[in-house]
Structure 1
Amino acid sequence: MTVQIITDSGCDLPKQYVEQLNIHVLPLVVTINNEEKYDGESIEPKALYDEMRNGAAPKTAQAPPTMIKEALETCAKNNTPCIYITLSSGLSGTYQTAVLLAQEVLETYPNAEISIIDSQCASLGFGLAVYHTALFAQNGHSYEEVVEAARYYTSHTEHIFTVDDLEYLLRGGRVSKAAAFMGSLLKIKPVLHMEDGKLFPLEKIRGKKKVYARMIELMKERGQVLDQQLIGISHADDLEAAQTLKEMIMKETGCQDVMISMIGCAIGAHAGPGTIAMFFLKQPYQTN
């Protein structure tokens, strides 16, 4: 029996892969100009970034609990094992809510197979973990094997990224006002990563090309057999930068498989236009 993979829009996984692998994506909520929108449904990333460039300060909220419960109940009613992989609990309350709702569903359907997994990932790093897990499920593995694979992929995914304007991180409390001001004056760009499901700065570098070169150095230090991996790049309305980074990665690592996606509204609302990120596994998953 196929395992149903459920996730939320913080994964930034391109729609073609979502459809190909029958992944159920729940929308996170974005409030902009006092209107609530569903990420990827009633608002698209390009529109959000245009609004942000014009001064809008969007806020985000977790996936609607009614949608989460409905997705879990549908699987339980149909005797379909399901795994809900959520946006990092360090960035969203969706994981905690999903755990409580899963308990409610299991009270009604005690034999249902439901797992809620905190990805501790974001954007396409989260998306790649979901993609690999869904592909693993589609290949006919058992529910227990798919859960094990999901836990591996979510715990072995690396995130390295930079932002175009420190102002957006300032709004989210990620950098101080003084640091944002000096960074803007000196054209300093931070290199950040994910640690224990939260964003942390690693280094500050002056100049975009130097930042990309350093990001790739970090990837080569942290990742194994990069030439045999699917590497992800996500961007906040800067496809040209994503293509540049892709070419650099392919040249430096020998990787021939790179997925590029636009950063969705839920993540982009905090990172801001011009953010560029890359994702890879510390080492590929190997089954016995």
Structure 2
Amino acid sequence: MRVGLIVDSACDLPHEFAKKHDLFVLPVTAIVDGQTYTDTHDPALTEQFYQSGFMDKGRQAETRAYTAEQIHDLFMEKIVNEYDVAICETVTRSRSLIYENAAEAMNTIMAKAEEARKAAGKGGRFSMRVIDSKQIFSGQGLLAAHTLRLIDQGASKNALRHEVEAFTDKIYTCVIPRDLHYIRERARRRGDKSVSAVAAFLSKTLNMIPVIFGPAENAKAVAKTRSFDAAVEKVMDYAIGRVEAGVLTPYLSISCGMSWSEIEALPGLDRLRDACERNGVELLLSQMGITSSIYVGPGAICLAVAAEPHAFSDFQ
């Protein structure tokens, strides 16, 4: 039984890791200053965006989910004859139409899959499951890495689904946005009032940088700092403490909306690398994809770890 994992472009993982594990990326359409791009997590295009400073124009940027029809056509061509079982993990449904569109496409795909496989000389049945990751960015990447590990371990189809759906509630994320005003404007256009005008004003006028922490759908500000570097240090201290205390999967995921030279200069990154190596945890460090960067703004950082219930302050 060949099992394939599908994620969308909001899922942040290192390109080489995704390539090694044959991860299939469902594209998202990105529109920046009137120019349309298909975000497939191409590393060269992503680095070009950051190096050129093009992402700094993010206030004129938006993303559009593939329609159900587009997903149907793509999966019929690329997925149905390639895998016996397909797991599609989407960015949290509360922030995107990808889940709904993929679930709608799944119904039509399942109706046509048997005939398509017969025509291609493929035996056996095809099954598909669309799962709401309840995550964003590196949180979605962490779930994907854990899912790939379960697939490699030979988990059955039903066990895989149950484990993935339970595991997503154990993921904690830390997000450091560079500009709350940017997030508020993006949210306002979507009708999302989760970031208040007051918070955005304070962030812009007083140079306050928050750390937003928690299970992705219930995350809240747990710290405010006077500088981005200070916020990064707090998150690195948290991550090191959490790794030392134990994690539920041997991965820690970080995605950064910046060039690689800026990523390597992040304060505390080398200390985190050392902690991960000492504790047998693989650090999945990646550039934030174009889709993710448009959502949260250039220069942001997202870190994800899976663990038992705890507070950010437990590791400060």
Give the TM-score, by structure 2 length.
0.77
Question: How many Å separate the matches in 1 of 2:44 and 2:195?
Answer: 28
The C-alpha deviation readout for 1:185-227, integer Å capped at 9, x for no partner, is: 3221011135463764333222334323432455578775149
Q: 1:249 matched to which residue of 2?
A: 272
8 Å CA contact 1:89–1:197 kept in 2: the answer is no
Q: How does 1:262-277 map to 2 (within 5 A)?
A: 262-277=287-302
Secondary structure of residue in 2 paired with 1:140: coil
1:98 and 2:102 equivalent?
yes
Give the 3-state SS of the residue equivalent to 1:244 in structure 2: coil
Unaligned runs of 5+ in 2: 115-124, 188-193, 309-316
Contact 1:85 1:119 in 2 (8 A): yes
Judging changes above 3 Å, is the alpha-carbon distance between structure 1 residues 2 and 54 closer, same or farther for their aligned structure 2 residues?
A: closer
Report matched runs for 1:3-152 at 5 Å: 3-39=3-39, 40-41=41-42, 44-49=45-50, 50-54=53-57, 57-74=60-77, 75-77=79-81, 80-109=84-113, 112-152=126-166
Aligned twin of 1:261? 286
Structure 1 match to 2:257? 236
Partner of 2:176: 162
Q: How many Å separate the matches in 1 of 2:248 and 2:112?
A: 47
CA separation in 1, counterparts of 2:233 and 2:83? 49
The one-letter code matched in structure 1 to 2:143 is A
Deviation at 1:268, TM superposition (A): 0.3
Whole-angstrom distance in 1 between the partners of 2:282 and 2:43: 31
Contact 1:27 1:41 (C-alpha < 8 Å) held by counterparts: no
- Residues 165-204 of structure 1: matches in 2 within 5 Å? 165-173=179-187, 174-193=194-213, 195=215, 197=217, 200-204=220-224
Deviations 1:96-152 (A, max 9, x none): 111111112223347531110000111122112112212321333322222233223
Q: Does the 8 Å CA contact 1:6/1:24 hold for their aligned counterparts?
A: yes
- Tell me how far apart the structure 2 counterparts of residues 99 and 27 of structure 1 sit (CA, whole Å): 16
Tell me how far apart the structure 2 counterparts of residues 145 and 162 of structure 1 sit (CA, whole Å).
35
Does 1:214 find its partner at 2:234? yes
Query: Identity rate of aligned residues, in percent?
Result: 20
Aligned-residue CA RMSD (Å) = 3.0
2: CA distance between counterparts of 1:138 and 1:67?
Answer: 29
Moved more, 146-155 or 82-91: 146-155
| Structure 1: gaps (5+ residues) | 284-288
Residue 79 of structure 1 deviates from its aligned partner by 6.4
* TM-score normalised by length of structure 1: 0.84
Conserved in 2, the CA contact under 8 Å of 1:188 and 1:206? yes
Deviation at 1:84, TM superposition (A): 0.6
After superposing the two structures, state which structure 1 stretch, 182-191 or 234-243, moved more. Answer: 234-243
1:33 deviation in Å?
A: 1.7
CA deviations on 1:174-195 (whole Å, 9 max, x unpaired) are: 5344432332332210111354
